[in-house]
Amino acid sequence: MRLGVAFIVPVFLAVSAWSQLTFTIPVQDKSEPGTPLEISGTISFSENVLMKSITTSTNYEVKAQNHSEKQIVLIVATFDESGPHGGSRHHILQFDDVFRLGISPGQSFVLSRSDRATPSFCCINLASEAEQPRAEVRVLFVQFSDGSTFGDKTAAKNILEIQAAVLERLRTLDDTRDDQEFLQILRRKIEPDEADTFFEAMRRTQKEKGTSVARGRVRSALINSEKHLAQLTVEQAGGK
């Protein structure tokens, strides 16, 4: 487990004297021992005094590195952030590479970053006492390409259901007899919305690069997913 160096917030300062303050701290890894990911990154909290309240906003980037010896195809984690005067938020981080090649050993990648449209939090009491800001990541579940896992599978229940919906549609598309049938099925939306997001990217590919390229992407995604999911099934059967 990797721990960042803590920065002490000057809680003795009078908030009323501030016009704007920015605090930058490292992201801390609070995962259980044995996590296959090394977490790093920083978060900045910006506070502005407005009338008798404080508005706060955040800017962050959470990075991860696969320091196991296996390819990773699925990650579920949480990210909790809280500024000196509140504005705390709880994020569910999901990184699904089951339909692609996976994250190779030693590979670094961005697990999450703040959106430019990240809202400010209003209105925090001007008289409230400042607290130590925090930014904590907990890796809950990791699935490897060989079917083995780390953590609690129940944490991945929702994303595993999304995978099943995507896989079913991929098989239907791959079985189509001609391009016309392929396009008819591709245009149909599916539930849940997160699953349809995957196919929205396929629809853009079809419009921009043509049906043959889209069919190729479907076949590639299907091959990758069936390989990973079949290995997971074998791993689970072997553990019974």
Per-residue model confidence as pLDDT tens digits over 217-231:
999 888 877 776 655
Point out the domain boundary residue: 108, 131, 151: 151
- pLDDT-derived band of residue 121, with 50, 70 and 90 as boundaries? low
Q: Which of 108, 127, 151 marks a domain boundary?
A: 151
Do the domain assignments include residue 36?
yes
2 part of a folded domain: no
Q: Are residues 69 and 137 in the same domain?
A: yes
Domain that holds residue 197: 153-238
Structure confidence at residue 6 as a pLDDT band (50, 70, 90): very low
C-alpha 205/C-alpha 35 separation (Å) is 36
Q: Are residues 194 and 178 part of one domain?
A: yes
Q: Is residue 137 part of a domain?
A: yes
Which of 12-16, 61-65, 101-105, 216-220 is most confident?
Answer: 61-65
Q: Which alpha helices (H) appear in the chain, and where do they start and end?
A: 157-174, 179-187, 193-209, 211-238
- What are the residues whose beta carbons fall under 8 Å from the beta carbon of 67, sequence distance 6 or more? 36, 37, 38, 105, 106
User: Does some domain include residue 192?
Assistant: yes
Claim to verify: residue 164 and residue 203 sit in the same structural domain = yes
Do 136 and 187 reside in the same domain of the chain? Answer: no
End residue of a domain, out of 101, 134, 151: 151
Contacts for 87 with CB less than 8 Å, ≥ 6 apart: 45, 56, 58, 120, 121, 124
User: Which residues on neighbouring strands pair with residue 46, listed in sequence order?
Assistant: 22, 57
- CA 79 – CA 37 distance, rounded (Å): 14
pLDDT value at 29 more than 70: yes
Does residue 10 sit within a domain? no
Residue 16 has pLDDT above 60, yes or no: no
Number of structural domains in the chain = 2
Residues 106 and 202 in one domain: no
166-206: per-residue pLDDT in tens? Answer: 889 999 999 999 999 999 999 999 998 888 988 999 999 99
Please write the tens of the pLDDT for every residue from 46-86: 877 766 677 778 899 999 999 999 999 999 999 999 888 77
Statement to judge: residues 126 and 198 lie in one domain: no
Same-domain status, 107 and 160: no
Q: Would you state the pLDDT for residue 119?
A: 56
Closest C-alpha among 127, 104, 130, 99 to residue 199: 99
Which of 23-37, 102-116, 156-170 holds the top average pLDDT? 23-37
Q: Report the alpha-carbon distance of residue 83 to residue 23 in Å, rounded.
A: 8
DSSP-derived letter for residue 51 is T
- DSSP assignment of 22-82 equals EEEEE-EE-PPTT-SEEEEEEEEEEEEEETTEEEEEEEEEEEEEE-SSS-EEEEEEEEEEE
Residues 110 and 60 in one domain: yes
Residue 7 has φ and ψ, to the nearest 5°, of -105, 130
Residue 225 lies in a domain: yes
Regarding whether 157 and 104 lie in a shared domain, the answer is no
pLDDT tens across 126-155, in order?
Answer: 666 778 889 999 999 999 988 889 999 898
Do 227 and 146 belong together in one domain? no
